[in-house]
Amino acid sequence: MLKDYVKPMTGRIIVNAIIKMTGTMLEVILPYILAHILNKIVPIRQEKLILMWGLLMVVCSVAAWILNITANRMASKTAATAIQNIRQDLFERSMALSARQLDRFSVASLESRLTSDTYVIHRFLGATLRMGIRSVMLFLGGVIFSFLLDWRLALVLILLIPPLFYVLRHVFNKVHPLFHEVQYRMDNMVQIIRENIKGIRVIKALDKTEHEKSRFAEANNQTKEAEIDARDHMAVMSPAVNILLYTGLGLVILLGALLVNRGLSQVGTIMAFMSYFIQITNSIMSLNRMFNIYSRANTSAERIEEVLQTPPDKNQKIDPDTLMDLPVPDPNIPEVEFKHVSFSYLGKHKDLQDVSFKLYPGQSLGIMGATGSGKSTVARLLLRQYDVNRGEILVRGINIQNLRPSDLKELFGIVNQNDFLFHGTVRQNIDFGRSLTDEELIEATHHAQAAQFLDSKEGGLDFELASKGVNLSGGQKQRLYLSRALAGEPEILILDDSSSALDFETDRRLRHTLAQDYGRTTTFIIAQRISSVKDCDQILLLEDGRMLALGDHKTLVQTCSPYRDIARIQMGEDQVSKPRPESTREDA
């Protein structure tokens, strides 16, 4: 499949290969010329001819140099072009993966596929076009010329190739798992370091530093032993190859001496032969290296193809027959309705079970529950990041599976738990590729309570954010997420744990602004604290994916005992029974 990226360049690669082959052949011919000089020219004592053939060798060398450089540069270009396309497609495919697919691959794994795997392929492609063709040519050329020089001596060579390959592969197969072991030991060691840095307070508090040092010493020692073991086995490789090679060379000289004595061969031939001998051995070594690179590249290619070949997920397919247009909001039709929705991420555990609610335009729904109770899942299903297993989700009376994804997504403004800022200006981060006007952006920052801190930053909207927004505080980041969500004038706003890092004053002002300026916006507030949702029109209490209760705060305190328990823990006994202040938001 990755072959498809190379295919359009077939012509180029063939030209490249021809240039490379020619260049390499010009080198391979040199010892042959030497044999010719010694065998044919020297006996007739023609100094001029010697100079001429010598000059020819120089010309061949220089021509080979130029051709090889040209071929190498072409190879670099070919590899670069292919990788650029592969990487671009891989990135685009990764960006388009459904949430479920993304979870399956994991972001970290996609990252390493995009970076180190494409890098491995790049090196492999470059190396094949440069070294691979060359090694094959050196090998074949060497074999052909040595047969041309003397087929009897060439047989010695042929005899030597199988044991050479055997030694190389044998050592490789043996050493390969040993280096895996080294890596494994190394990872263990690194884990101990990480643990120690993270738990340094506990370790010092409990006076365990000496204990940790000896724990590390053990892992350290295991790494050392594994490394020595691997290197011990590796140590055989090059001496064994050399002994084989030079034994062959010795045989060539001995056999050569016999042949020379009978007048069947000449000394010049034997000398040239020795050159080919070394050349062929070197080419076998480098073919072996290519083979190792290849086996790594193969794994990388599979990892890349796995992503590229992932078909669109079920929830990303649109059936044109059932497609419907999105109507305008109607106060009598629920803006969002969940009808007996059940859902499971992995198919075993039910993450949501039979959840139903109706939310009319402009109303707000608070969703409460412990971590893992399914709060965020409600939002994800509404956004069609995942599709329900059972039941229906309706927006303005239409099943969201019958809406264009672009229509659906335009409705929403979302602030996620772990939302995302990228390296760029504040403006780029809020605008998010939507080409909003400055006025819209500024208004959004005011509403999100971000304007004030932005004024204090150099450049205001043009303030440069570091990667992931690490040069902002948690509260400042949250206000930028909010600005982004509000800037698109969303009709449905989803706030998933979005005010946890705001100080109480800012939080209060924000809630006030939302009530005042976004009164017509249908709002979902997902929270862990009762104080964040107690003013919502409806509160949905989830436990383990099931609806425990649905109603406003007052009703729930009276009728739902788990809700009352949470309220008691969070707010204290007397607070729960106290009368609540009137909601600031009017019901729609």
Partner 1 sequence: MSNTSSIVEERRSKPKDYKKVFRGLAKYMSAEWPLLLLALAMVIIANVIVLYGPYFSGLAIDAMGEVSGEVHFPRVVRMVLFMLLAYALSAVLNYFLTRVMARASQKVIYQMRQDTFDKIVDLPISYIDSHQAGDLVSRISYDLDVVSQSLTNDLVQIVASTITVFGSFFMMLSISPIMSVIFLLILPVTIIFTRYRIKKTRPLFSERSRKLGQMNGYVEEILSGQKTIQAYNKQEFFSEGFEDINEDSIHAYYRADYQAAMNGPSVTLISNLSLALVSMFGALFFLRGVFSLGNLSAFVLYSRRFSGPINMIANIIADLQSALSAAERVFNLLDQPSEAADKADAVELRDVEGRVEFDRVDFSYVPDVPIIKDLSLKAPAGSLIAIVGPTGAGKTTLINLLMCFYDPQSGEILVDDHPITDVTRKSLRQSFAMVLQDTWLFNGTIRDNIAYGRPDASFADVQKAAKAAHIDTFIDAQPEGYNAHVSDGAENLSQGQKQLLTIARAMLLDAPMLILDEATSNVDSHTEIQIQDAMNRLIEGRTAFVIAHRLSTIQNADTILLVEGGEIKEQGTHEELLARNGAYAKLYNAQFA
Segment 387 to 416, residues that bind partner 1, using CB under 8 A: 405-406, 409-410, 412, 414, 416
How many whole angstroms separate alpha carbon 570 and alpha carbon 389? 34
Here the contacts of 304-307 (C-beta below 8 Å, separation 24 or greater) are 304/2, 304/86, 304/90, 304/113, 304/117, 304/118, 304/121, 305/1, 305/2, 307/90, 307/93, 307/94, 307/97, 307/105, 307/110, 307/113
- Say what angle helices 504-517 and 438-447 make with each other, to 10 degrees: 120
When the beta carbons of 140 and 278 are compared against partner 1, the nearer one is 278
Whole-angstrom distance between the N-terminal and C-terminal Cα of the chain? 56
When the beta carbons of 71 and 461 are compared against partner 1, the nearer one is 71
Phi and psi at 583, nearest 5°, equal -60, 140
Residue 8 as a binder of partner 1 (CB under 8 A): the answer is no
When the beta carbons of 181 and 358 are compared against partner 1, the nearer one is 181
Part of the chain binding partner 1 (CB under 8 A), chosen from 3-11, 342-350, 552-560, 562-570:
562-570
Pick out residues in 343-362 that bind partner 1 (CB under 8 A): none
When the beta carbons of 98 and 360 are compared against partner 1, the nearer one is 98
Residue 232 as a binder of partner 1 (CB under 8 A): the answer is yes
Shortest approach of partner 1 to residue 226 CB, angstroms? Answer: 10
Residues 6 or more apart whose CB falls under 8 angstroms from that of 561 comprise none
Residue 257 as a binder of partner 1 (CB under 8 A): the answer is yes
Residue 184 as a binder of partner 1 (CB under 8 A): the answer is no
Evaluated on CA atoms 264, 266, 272, 278, the torsion sign reads positive
Residue 489 as a binder of partner 1 (CB under 8 A): the answer is no
When the beta carbons of 219 and 394 are compared against partner 1, the nearer one is 219
Candidates 169, 323, 370, 437; binder of partner 1 (CB under 8 A) is: 370
Site string for partner 1, 120-159 (x = CB under 8 A): --x---x---x-----------------------------
Candidates 569, 577, 584, 587; binder of partner 1 (CB under 8 A) is: 569
Residue 262 as a binder of partner 1 (CB under 8 A): the answer is yes
Q: Under a CB-based contact definition with an 8 Å cutoff, are residues 98 and 61 in contact?
A: no
Q: Find residue 390's DSSP bridge partners.
A: 342
Pick out residues in 266-285 that bind partner 1 (CB under 8 A): 267-268, 270-271, 274-275, 278
Candidates 6, 17, 19, 60; binder of partner 1 (CB under 8 A) is: 60
**β-strand pairing of 492-496 with 412-415:** parallel
Residue 107 as a binder of partner 1 (CB under 8 A): the answer is yes
Residue 419 as a binder of partner 1 (CB under 8 A): the answer is yes
Tokens of 362: 């402009």
Q: Find residue 365's DSSP bridge partners.
A: 524, 538
When the beta carbons of 42 and 333 are compared against partner 1, the nearer one is 42
Residues 6 or more apart whose CB falls under 8 angstroms from that of 14 comprise none
Candidates 178, 186, 293, 515; binder of partner 1 (CB under 8 A) is: 186
When the beta carbons of 360 and 382 are compared against partner 1, the nearer one is 382
Shortest approach of partner 1 to residue 228 CB, angstroms? Answer: 5
Phi and psi at 510, nearest 5°, equal -60, -45
Shortest approach of partner 1 to residue 210 CB, angstroms? Answer: 9
- Count of CB atoms situated within 10 Å of the CB of 278: 14
Q: Find residue 343's DSSP bridge partners.
A: 352
The residue type of 169 is R
Residue 196 as a binder of partner 1 (CB under 8 A): the answer is yes
Pick out residues in 32-51 that bind partner 1 (CB under 8 A): 33-34, 37-38, 41-42, 45, 47, 50-51
Candidates 104, 204, 349, 520; binder of partner 1 (CB under 8 A) is: 204
Shortest approach of partner 1 to residue 331 CB, angstroms? Answer: 26
Candidates 3, 10, 207, 439; binder of partner 1 (CB under 8 A) is: 207
When the beta carbons of 47 and 319 are compared against partner 1, the nearer one is 47
CA proximity to 179, closest of 231, 123, 143, 120: 231
CA–CA–CA angle 209, 215, 217 (5° rounding): 105
Cα distances (angstroms) measured from residue 88 to each of 153, 558, 560: 53, 57, 53
Shortest approach of partner 1 to residue 580 CB, angstroms? Answer: 10
* Number of residues near partner 1 (by CB under 8 A): 167
Residue 323 as a binder of partner 1 (CB under 8 A): the answer is no
Shortest approach of partner 1 to residue 422 CB, angstroms? Answer: 5
Phi and psi at 538, nearest 5°, equal -135, 150
Part of the chain binding partner 1 (CB under 8 A), chosen from 8-16, 167-175, 212-220, 328-336:
212-220
Candidates 7, 169, 314, 434; binder of partner 1 (CB under 8 A) is: 434
Tokens of 287: 């073919």
Report the Cα 6 to chain-centroid distance in Å.
22
Site string for partner 1, 518-547 (x = CB under 8 A): ----------xx-x-----------xx---
Part of the chain binding partner 1 (CB under 8 A), chosen from 145-153, 173-181, 230-238, 353-361:
230-238
Q: Under a CB-based contact definition with an 8 Å cutoff, are residues 87 and 118 in contact?
A: yes
When the beta carbons of 391 and 475 are compared against partner 1, the nearer one is 475
Residue 197 as a binder of partner 1 (CB under 8 A): the answer is yes
CA–CA–CA angle 195, 199, 205 (5° rounding): 140
**Helix/strand/coil (H/E/C) assignment for every residue in 215-254:** HHHHHHHHHHHHHHHHHHHHCCHHHHHHHHHHHHHHHHHH
Q: Under a CB-based contact definition with an 8 Å cutoff, are residues 365 and 587 in contact?
A: no
How many whole angstroms separate alpha carbon 427 and alpha carbon 454? 11
Shortest approach of partner 1 to residue 588 CB, angstroms? Answer: 25
When the beta carbons of 314 and 468 are compared against partner 1, the nearer one is 468
The three-class DSSP label of residue 520 is coil
